[in-house]
Amino acid sequence: MDTVSFIHGKAYLIKGQFADLGFFLKKVSNYIKESRIEKSNILYTVQSTIEYLKNKSGPVTQESALKRLIADDLKKIVNMENSEKVIDTQEMLAAQYEDYKDILAKFGFNIKYPKIYFVDNFPKPYHTMQWSACSPDKEDEIKYGIKPGFYFRKDKLVPFKSSFILAHEIIHAIIAASDPFFIGRGLEDGICDLVGSVLLGGRVIGFDICKNYLTYEYLSYHNNQFSEIYLDYFRLATSLYLQFGFDGIFYLIKRGRQAIKKVESSCLSGTFNEINLPMGQWDLNVNRLVNFITLMYPRNMVVSPLAKFIAGFLKKGDSVRKIIAINNIDASQGEEAIRELQERVYLVLINGDVIDYSEIEYLETNNFLRYELI
């Protein structure tokens, strides 16, 4: 495992300030190459990168503020208990797979579960896809001669992320066991996230880690369209769960893809009165998490690195010029960043040189003001 993959896995254990995990990892990779400090000891490389990013003289600019903020997020990883431990993702998945199956058995799901395969490339015709994992089913076996199973690309294994993907794919496999001859997309993906990633992943890996995973995957700033589609259907599945509980969701899983497509059609056409599902069995931890991800998270509360950096110093009644001078911030960029906090996200109200109003302290306390990767 290289340093960036190590950081990627550990990132799910912290609440990062970055607005996009993928861009964060690219920046870290570039800084490691730039500093020429990567060693075989991963933790040493991370600590040395932190020192490299912090060791900047002169006034604080957008660029140097970004480096300081990235260093702060890396420091959270270093300061974790057992931060030096390198996780064997294949061993982790094998153990968690058994835990997932035990939980599913208690909910009445008993199928012949497929094997996990760790591969360099997916079987044809999926060999050109850049997915982390895929789960060919009975239809793929008939059409292409592929053994049903969970196929993970070795070069894309990431601690914790791969665990949530496995949980998601297990639910696809259960649905496909009774009805494989439809494409498993749309509402089915939302159900797989709800039951797999949230319910199974939350119980086995932890709901706080699951919250971080879903935040990074679906609530990144300027998210890609593919992730947005998954989020849309996760919202749809969440709406059904909150109305009918897991009794309704499990009923759909057991009846397969045609039943799921019928309910999806009713949802998308607005004919909710046509949906008739069993009702019951809610989980308080799941309720809290899905409400947070789908309804509560302020995903657009994002500012430039320097605005995020300065935000930590702003308080009602303070002088703008004094804040900039005391904290050795570039004057022109600093004033522009403070105006950004007013005009872009309206967290402060500036009257001349004075901060007349500020809501920053509340957001900073809850770590909801994120920085974008410029």
Tokens in use for 277?
């599902």
- The answer to whether residue 84 sits within a structural domain is no
pLDDT at 181: 63
Domain check: are 153 and 176 in the same one? Answer: yes
**Whole-number pLDDT of residue 279:** 96
Residue 84 in this model has a pLDDT that exceeds 70: no
Q: Across residues 142-149, what is the average pLDDT?
A: 92
| Domain assignment of residue 11, yes or no | yes
Is the distance from CB of 154 to CB of 118 less than 8 angstroms? yes
Joined tokens for residue 219? 């609530």
Any domain includes 111:
yes
Domain that holds residue 42: 3-78
Q: Is the Cβ–Cβ distance between 285 and 202 less than 8 Å?
A: yes
Tell whether 83 is covered by a domain.
no
Asked if 72 and 179 sit in the same domain, the reply is no
Mean pLDDT of 218-242: 92
With a pLDDT cut of 90, the percent of the chain lying above it is 73
Residues 57 and 101 in one domain: no
Torsion of CA 132, 136, 140, 142, to 10 degrees: 150
Specify the range with the lowest mean pLDDT, choosing from 244-248, 346-350, 366-370: 366-370
Q: Is residue 101 part of a domain?
A: yes
pLDDT score of 180 more than 80: no
CA 336/CA 338 separation, integer angstroms = 5
> Across residues 207-234, what is the average pLDDT?
93
Tokens of 168: 């998601």
- Is residue 56 over pLDDT 90? no
As for how many domains the chain has, the answer is 3
Residue type, 204: V
Domain end residue (candidates: 262, 296, 330)? 296
Judgement on whether residues 200 and 184 belong to the same structural domain of the protein:
yes
Residue 251 belongs to some domain of the structure: yes
Which pLDDT band, with edges at 50, 70 and 90, does 10 fall under? very high
Q: Are residues 107 and 46 in the same domain?
A: no
Judge whether residue 238 has pLDDT over 80: yes
pLDDT of 75 over the 90 cut: yes
Instruction: Inform me whether the pLDDT recorded for 138 exceeds 90.
Output: no
- 109 located within any domain: yes
Region 257-266: what's the mean pLDDT?
Answer: 92
Statement to judge: residues 39 and 157 lie in one domain: no
Q: Are residues 292 and 312 in the same domain?
A: no
Residue 342 sits in a domain of what CATH number? 1.10.10
DSSP 3-state assignment of 355?
A: strand
Domain assignment present for residue 165? The answer is: yes
- pLDDT higher at 182 or 16: 16
Confidence of residue 224 (pLDDT cuts 50, 70, 90): confident
- Looking at the chain, the whole-number percentage of residues with pLDDT higher than 70 is 96
Task: Tell me, yes or no, whether 228 and 212 share the same domain.
Answer: yes
Mark whether 289 and 330 lie in a shared domain.
Answer: no
Q: Domain boundary at 296, 319, 351, which? A: 296
65 vs 312, residue with greater confidence: 65
- Asked if the model's pLDDT at residue 35 lies above 70, the reply is yes
Task: Identify the DSSP state of 88.
Answer: -
Same domain, 69 and 114: no
102 and 216 together in one domain: yes
Residue at which a domain ends, from 78, 106, 141? 78
Quote the pLDDT of residue 37: 66
Q: Is a pLDDT exceeding 80 seen at residue 1?
A: no
Strands (E), the chain: 115-119, 133-134, 149-153, 302-303, 348-351, 354-358, 370-371
153 with 190, same domain? yes
Mean pLDDT of the chain: 91
Confidence of residue 25 (pLDDT cuts 50, 70, 90): very high
Residue with the bigger pLDDT between 370 and 185: it is 370
**What's the confidence (pLDDT) of residue 112?**
87
**78-88 mean pLDDT:** 77
Checking if the pLDDT of 185 tops 70, the result is yes
pTM over 0.85: yes
Q: Distance (Å, rounded) from C-alpha 52 to C-alpha 315?
A: 30
Which candidate, 333, 175, 152, places its Cα nearest to that of 257? 175
pLDDT digits (tens, 9 = 90+) for 262-293: 999 999 998 888 899 999 999 999 999 999 99
Label residue 176 by pLDDT band (50, 70, 90). confident
